[in-house]
Amino acid sequence: MTAPDPVTQEDLHAYVDGRLEPADELRIEAWLAEHPEDAAAVHAYRLQNSRLHDEFDSILDQAIPPEMEAIVTGRPRGAARLPRPWMNMAASILLLLAGGMGGWLLHGTQGPPPQGPAGTFADVAMGAHRVFVAEVRHPVEVPATQEAHLVAWLSKRLGTKLRAPDLTDAGFSLVGGRLLAEGDLPAAQFMYEDSGGQRLTVYVRAADETGDTAFRFVAKDNVSAFYWMERAFAYALVAPMERTRLMAIAHKVYGDLSPR
């Protein structure tokens, strides 16, 4: 073994907590094989985590006390001060944004910019992003461990051959996906996560109209989206990310999802 980076206590905890990249996990495992003291510590820390769950997880299965739920649901005063939900956001504002920020042309055959429907589309994709990335226990319906099943299922429901874009190079791995309903239309959402826990989503559904469009960009409330239409399907990439980095990922998503 060539002299690898020395393994620190921090590395051991990150290993225990599953916070390492696969390459680093291998490095730690090689180290542990030769350092029984550290291996014993790792074993002990893992045992602590599992015993914590044994001891306290039963609370998760208890019904939520009604008085707690009432604090959240029974006080419309708090809700009234909120900005309007993104789902209800006036499409006209989106149109302004979309019109002002478009311009990067993906390829030669440009249709007209996606007006109303695509504006609404980005809005819905961003709404779906916000709702599901916040999920801790159920962020996806089908996990990445069943990727083949996930892709086959969503492809069948959407009536097109989908695949889950490979965003490994951008540092994101597939968490899984889910089927959503947008009005009468089935829509697919793939979710990805990087090592820091940041999540991005890819949203796909049949387009309201045919015609290809350029990438269009919209940003709102710390979440950005690139969205486009390609041969009767509409696509959106949504993440809390600045435009340049998101665009690089959008290229990759486009390349992986474009009908062949």
Partner 1 sequence: MDDIHRLIVDQIPHLRRYARALLRNPDAADDLVQECLTRAMDRLHLWKPGSNMRAWLFSILHNQHVNAARRLNRRPDKADPERDHDALRPAPPEQGSRHEVRDLGRALEQLPEEQRQVVLLVGLEGLSYQETAEVLDVPSGTVMSRLNRGRQLLREIMEQNGTPNLRRVK
Residues that bind partner 1 (CB under 8 A): 9-10, 13-14, 17, 19, 40-41, 44-45, 47-49, 51-57, 59-60, 62, 64-65, 67-69, 71-73, 75, 78-79, 81-83, 85-87, 127, 129-131, 133-136, 196-197, 221-223, 240
Cβ 54 to partner 1 shortest distance, Å: 8
Q: Where are the alpha helices (DSSP H) in the chain?
A: 9-16, 22-34, 36-56, 58-61, 66-73, 76-80, 91-101, 116-133, 147-158, 243-257
Nearer to partner 1, 147 or 194 (CB): 194
Cβ 31 to partner 1 shortest distance, Å: 17
Q: How far is CA 65 from CA 18, 54, 60, 61, 62, in A?
A: 32, 22, 12, 12, 8
197 and 161 Cβ atoms separated by less than 8 Å: no
Cβ 91 to partner 1 shortest distance, Å: 18
Q: How far is CA 207 from CA 108, 158, 213, 223, in A?
A: 20, 11, 11, 22
Tokens of 115: 């007006």
Nearer to partner 1, 81 or 260 (CB): 81
- Supply angle C-alpha 123, 125, 126, rounded to 5: 65
Nearer to partner 1, 55 or 169 (CB): 55
Cβ 226 to partner 1 shortest distance, Å: 16
One-letter amino acid identity for 165? P
Nearer to partner 1, 30 or 40 (CB): 40
Tell the residue number behind the tokens 């990445």, with chain if given.
Answer: 144
Nearer to partner 1, 69 or 209 (CB): 69
Cβ 21 to partner 1 shortest distance, Å: 14
Nearer to partner 1, 29 or 69 (CB): 69
Cβ 127 to partner 1 shortest distance, Å: 8
CA dihedral 184→220→116→108, nearest 10 degrees, is: -110
